[in-house]
Amino acid sequence: MSGSAAVVPNTPPTAPPTVTRGGRGSWVGGGVLLLVVVLLAAVVPYAVTLGALSSLVMLFALVILGTTWNLLAGYGGMVSVGQQAYVGVGGYALIQLADAVGAPPWAAVLAAGLVGAAIALPTSYLVFRLAGGYFAIGTWVVAEVFRLVTMQIDGLGGGAGLTLSAFRGTDRVERVAFVYWFALALMVAVVLGTYLLMRSRVGLGLTAIRDDRVAASSLGVAVDRGRRLVYVAGSAGAALAGALVALSTLGVTPGSIYSVNWTAAMIFIVVVGGIGTIEGPLVGAVLYWALQQALAPLGTWYLVVLGAVAVAVVLLAPRGLWGLVAGRYQLFPTTHHVRQGAVGAIAAPGTGR
């Protein structure tokens, strides 16, 4: 290369990467969800029958159950098959607080959630001594103990249960409308509260615990405290849903309010919708509720159909129905995305560009 100098490529600096959370799809999806909530609050109550409103209250309760059970399994890594224990606690607490204490129905529902959390805290020290399948069986045993103890207490109606009398003398239209709007507001609050929790440092720690408890602990994450927080929060959510069910049906019985079918519904909703996502339980709850309404005339055969749907989804979409579109859409963005800055064109040697 005598008589000439080597040409050094002119490489422009790379733009710094940008960290984003969500995007245009999240804003559009959030707007659609907000529109749906507005329609549910301002239009639906005046366009459907009272029976349909009561049915929608059950849908809202299912969303709460699915969302809070997803906290346990999807973020805390704990598969509980005994959350019906706190559904029953919430139902009985509502009636006792509203009838015996005289609390307003809305306040009694919120207080029932606190009762569920207060009972779940000491219970967690018992069930957390178990792990894996033993934990799942242990939670079911706890639920059965709750049911049997309730049946032995005469003040709770024994095997016959209790009837809510706080609405005695209230017009049926006013009662159903109040329960509907209150259940809608409570569902929105639970979903948003879960979203904010998962966006926080606590939520990041829960994700680490779910993925690898040992690694999370080695990085300074308080594993036991995080799991206990999730267990108590999930149990409070189940108690809130149980209180809503009792408020809508005006009564509870041990056989129905402590039924394992509640936990079966939670598992179906989360697994089919998409475990470990906030959107998944919403999708799963709507699907479960729609199938329940459409297949009600079939009696117990609808359980067979639900099982077939669950098996099909697990085989064809292991991440759930929401997992099919989660890569392109995220209505509740809880994770960050790093976008690398654009790289300028590299000049070819000897071109002078």
Domain assignment present for residue 93? The answer is: yes
User: 83: pLDDT confidence band, cut at 50, 70 and 90?
Assistant: very high
The pLDDT of residue 303 is 82
User: 14: pLDDT confidence band, cut at 50, 70 and 90?
Assistant: low
Q: Which residue has the higher pLDDT, 19 or 213?
A: 213
User: 343: pLDDT confidence band, cut at 50, 70 and 90?
Assistant: very low
The pLDDT of residue 27 is 75
Question: In three state form, how does the secondary structure of 279-348 look?
Answer: HHHHHHHHHHHHHHHHHHHHCCHHHHHHHHHHHHHHHHCCCCCHHHCCCCCCCCCCCCEEECCCCCCCCC
Residue 314 backbone dihedrals phi, psi, to 5 degrees: -60, -35
Q: Which residue has the higher pLDDT, 199 or 245?
A: 245
User: 346: pLDDT confidence band, cut at 50, 70 and 90?
Assistant: very low
pLDDT in tens, 196-233: 888 888 777 777 777 667 777 777 777 778 888 999 99
The pLDDT of residue 304 is 86
Average pLDDT over residues 267-292: 92
Let me know the angle formed at the C-alpha of 290 by 286 and 292, rounded to the nearest 5 degrees. Answer: 120
53-62, 166-175, 183-192: lowest mean pLDDT where? 166-175
Average pLDDT over residues 222-249: 90
The pLDDT of residue 158 is 85
Mean model confidence pLDDT for the chain: 84
Residue 299 backbone dihedrals phi, psi, to 5 degrees: 70, -135
For tokens 């206990």, name the residue: 228
E strand map for 55-180: 162-163
The H or E element containing residue 263 is helix 261-273
pLDDT in tens, 85-141: 999 999 999 999 998 888 898 999 999 999 999 999 999 999 999 888 899 999 999
Compute the distance between CA of residue 80 and CA of residue 92 in angstroms, rounded to an integer.
21
Question: Which candidate, 219, 201, 203, places its Cα nearest to that of 276?
Answer: 203
User: 1: pLDDT confidence band, cut at 50, 70 and 90?
Assistant: very low
Average pLDDT over residues 63-87: 91
49-63, 95-109, 196-210, 250-264: lowest mean pLDDT where? 196-210
Domain assignment present for residue 63? The answer is: yes
Average pLDDT over residues 170-183: 91
The pLDDT of residue 137 is 92
Domain range for residue 193?
51-261
Domain assignment present for residue 66? The answer is: yes
Domain assignment present for residue 104? The answer is: yes
Domain assignment present for residue 307? The answer is: no
Residue 351 has pLDDT above 50, yes or no: no
Overall domain count for the chain: 1
Residue 56 backbone dihedrals phi, psi, to 5 degrees: -70, -30
Q: Which residue has the higher pLDDT, 141 or 18?
A: 141
Determine the residue type at 188. V
Residue 82 has pLDDT above 70, yes or no: yes
Residue 273 has pLDDT above 80, yes or no: yes
Domain assignment present for residue 99? The answer is: yes
User: 352: pLDDT confidence band, cut at 50, 70 and 90?
Assistant: very low
The pLDDT of residue 227 is 85
Domain assignment present for residue 5? The answer is: no
The pLDDT of residue 3 is 47
14-18, 56-60, 266-270, 284-288: lowest mean pLDDT where? 14-18
128-147 burial code (b ≥16 CB/10 A, e <16): eeeeeeebbebbbebbeebb
Domain assignment present for residue 122? The answer is: yes
Please state, in angstroms and as integers, the Cα–Cα distance from residue 125 to each residue in 76, 129, 134, 224, 225, following that order: 16, 7, 14, 10, 11
Which of the residue ranges 159-173, 217-231, 272-286, 299-313 has the most confident prediction, judged by mean pLDDT?
A: 272-286
Q: How many CB atoms lie within 10 A of CB 54?
A: 15
